[in-house]
Amino acid sequence: MVAVVTGAAGGIGLAVVRILAGNENAVAAVDRDGPALTEAVEKLAADGLAVTGFTADVSDSDQADSVIAAVEERMGPVESLVNSAGVLRTGELRTCTDEDWAATFAVNSNGVFHMSRAAVNRMVPRGRGAIVTVASNAAGTPRSSMGAYAASKAAAAMVTKCLGLEVARHGIRCNVVAPGSTDTPMLRSMWTDTADRQATLEGNLDSHRLGIPLGKLAQPADVARAVAFLLSDEANHITMATLTVDGGATLGV
């Protein structure tokens, strides 16, 4: 199976690439950071994993179309797509700039639309395929100083589910994985000292944020395993669903 993973140079995306390739899939790793992607692919190849890197910016629809075409020409029909590319701009909405808002939606929402449209238009004639979008538990739970991010992830989740409804008759499944706090560079960029890590685990009532009942951060592989499940035949009757991987932080709501 050929699987395309965006945001593949690090964090959750890289973990997804590793797990899918380890399950004997041919993986097209897509990221806009060419040097980081090259380094990641070289490390994966050294571990004997079949991964091919493709540099593209998913916020650009032409690049999204081109990279899917390039993957199919070089590797074969795309059967799976994982939308994992994402950016985070923090700050209260009343001080959020137009540029921060646009940049957040360009990748987190538009990128999902661009890549999903490009992939599904090739999947439909073949009558098979699966798409998983990595959103966030913030898509359904308000978060202070994360309004742009939360809104963009909510849009990404709904795009994925609406697409899933439209293409279900073609045998294509579209699902969402919603991680909570995961030990990635994106999360660590929000911390200023070691106390912030503990606050993430314990929560902060002043910012109306619950802690994590399991008492630990998710690891990227925890999220990647959920993605792999939804792409697999074990989930062949699941579509338009959200699988939340947050240690209970949103209380299952």
> Residues with catalytic annotation?
149
Within the chain, strands assigned E span 2-6, 26-31, 51-55, 78-83, 129-134, 172-179, 203-204, 209-210, 242-245
- For CA atoms 135, 140, 144, 147, the dihedral sign is positive
C-alpha to C-alpha distances, 84 to 9, 183, 240, nearest whole angstrom: 10, 15, 17
Query: Position 134: which residue type?
Result: V
C-alpha to C-alpha distances, 1 to 78, 164, 166, nearest whole angstrom: 7, 20, 23
Nearest Cα to Cα of residue 30 among 87, 115, 102, 106 = 115
